[in-house]
Structure 1
């Protein structure tokens, strides 16, 4: 909590806190960071940086929003559908990347963000991104607060406003001004600040890149992707079957899936992710790699292993070993001296 003194008066500031992994021993830094952001998503460090992992968050807690600037080493972020860590909800995440960037997907939308771009992510949908070393200004907002300004049918998940666009430059300037003003703001200004942010974000993202025909195409793509996800073990997930099921032409189907790499690539990617999830989740009796592969449509273990390694950077066996090592590290008898649940963890879980 920050208090500003003006003469004899004391003005109560907006709650403020800083998390800096560099205050911890090297071996404890990533796990502390992982626990901090767990209410939003799982963090995975696939390739530890040679200079060592580091992350820092400087942020403010408004009544209906968390605003922070985060700097972090490259890592993978994952949020599966139904992820509600610590009973948290499914907020929206608005981010202005000041440096670095990421590529991934939100729901069934491919998202690519670079310096200066502003993204709108919906954590009610699955999320998987690979971020390089970055610095980002983030606004974490309960969905009901945002949707009171921006009806969900007018917002497209995974939308990105480019840095080079006029709207991007205007919104970027606005969000940075808000961030700078927070350091001297009083708690009495909390709700006005929230409404200022939400109004600007809603105005910028309302219908961004979505005409009526695009909305219809988006709904069809969502329906087809959801059907594929529910039927990944079926043998007939072919373009011909999907065209019959959804009464669309092959040309239209291919056009819908072009941003996702094509129909076959999307099905293969979804099956690989399901295999990764099954291989790395804790089980009393673990099925073999080939059993998991065959259950999700792969008939050759060598071919499956090559695809798995090309997609995740490790073999199926290495994925199992890494998951087991991470669980042992989190449940081992030697506990770190720090509390894994930082102030930010609490703030995020309360949204």
Structure 2
């Protein structure tokens, strides 16, 4: 189902087989969901009894970006599947748990935890996957191929967890996925371009990829700083001096990186406001005073917090809490009957995203 989140963030979707049942129902729902990419089968008939899968996906422009966790299964992309849907994108996957082994158009492939694999969806593939969790990006060929020295020869490439390129991509993709729920639509394009450039530099660079490396390093630094901010939002010591010391950048560089967000401190304030938004819509925090929630996330004055919150979300903290309580809402989700709720996008579905991938 599509998730309700603040309006300026990229579209997202959450799919879980538990929502459609178990056993056969769960597996067939999963099979239908991934059919534009793969034909799937279970390793044994009785595996259907315990089958489960979950996908949390984001759609920043032409790229599909997802966290996937699923039971053991076999994946197959045959010439018939390729001809049927016309998808010829690249699939880049970071395996956080589990892995797979198989054949990528005649090339033997084995992937384990921490490895990054590159698959060309224009070519046949057969794999046997263990129970796994990965971060997957489906990338249009037109974006990545120009950055590769041999764009038609990367099918089955594996960047090992203990390699420099593999570690760089692993850290970048992990941080990027952590930030994805709050990634704004107006920043997604540049960040995805930087991510693709980093992939080109790691997988098999052309001169163009190397020329883009400096810009990509800046993008990767920004992602790292955002991750640090996210982990320290409640700390009074979160300031420019601390961040500069942590990442070895000057104040002017830090301020330039955050210019598109209205400035460094403005970005921190917005992130703190979003944390408050999540807690105010959570039933678990219903007994906490608004002032205490605000103080926990760095706002020492409740009146100042309320004004900033209304500017950000077009609703006061108290109004949001009351509306969430009436609707039984979920943390971080705007109640559908709340004034201004049309600002939350609920239209994107995973099926339409997968179909849109046909534009390579």
Interval containing the TM-score (normalised by the shorter chain): 0.5 to 0.7
In the alignment, the residues of structure 2 paired with residue 72 and residue 119 of structure 1 have an alpha-carbon distance, to the nearest angstrom, of 17
CA distance in 2, matches of 1:22, 1:138: 21
Match of residue 345 from structure 1: 351
CA distance, structure 1, for counterparts of residue 349 and residue 27 of structure 2: 16
Matches of 1:72 and 1:85 in 2, distance apart? 26
1:283-294 superposed matches below 5 A: none
Tell me, which stretches of 5 or more residues in structure 2 are unaligned?
A: 207-347
**How far 1:155 moved relative to its partner?**
5.0
Q: By how many angstroms is 1:86 displaced?
A: 6.4
After superposition, the CA RMSD in angstroms is 2.2
Give distance in 2, aligned partners of 1:160 and 1:347.
Answer: 26
Shift, 1:181, TM fit? 1.5
Given candidates 16, 23, 26, the residue that maps to 2:19 is 23
> Residues 23-62 of structure 1: matches in 2 within 5 Å?
23-26=19-22, 27-47=24-44, 48-49=46-47, 52-62=50-60
Q: How many residues align?
A: 212
Of 150, 163, 172 in structure 2, the residue corresponding to residue 165 of structure 1 is: 163
The 3-state SS of whatever aligns with 1:83 is helix
Q: Distance in 1 between matches of 2:86 and 2:12?
A: 21
SS at match of 1:169: helix
Q: 1:13 to 1:34 in 2, by over 3 A?
A: same
Q: 2 CA distance for matches of 1:349 and 1:80?
A: 18
* TM-score when normalising by structure 2: 0.55
Work out whether residues 86 and 349 of structure 1, in 8 Å CA contact, stay in contact via their aligned partners in 2: no
In the superposition, relative to structure 1, how do residues 19 and 73 fare at CA in structure 2: closer, same or farther (>3 Å)?
Answer: same
Give the C-alpha shift of residue 193 in structure 1: 1.9
Range with greater deviation from structure 2 (49-58 or 93-102): 49-58
**5+ residue gaps, structure 1:** 5-10, 209-341
Task: Give 1:113 deviation, angstroms.
Answer: 0.2
Q: Which residue of 1 aligns with 2:228?
A: none
**Equivalent in 96, 102, 105 of residue 104 of structure 1:** 102
Equivalent residue runs for 1:1-351 within 5 Å: 2-4=4-6, 11-26=7-22, 27-47=24-44, 48-49=46-47, 52-84=50-82, 87-153=85-151, 155-206=153-204, 343-351=349-357
Distance in 2 between residues matched to 1:185 and 1:50, nearest whole Å: 36
Contact 1:64–1:194 at 8 Å: present in 2 too?
no
Give 1:65 shift: 0.5
SS in 1 for 2:50: coil
**Residue 148 (structure 1) shift:** 2.9
SS of 2:76's partner is strand
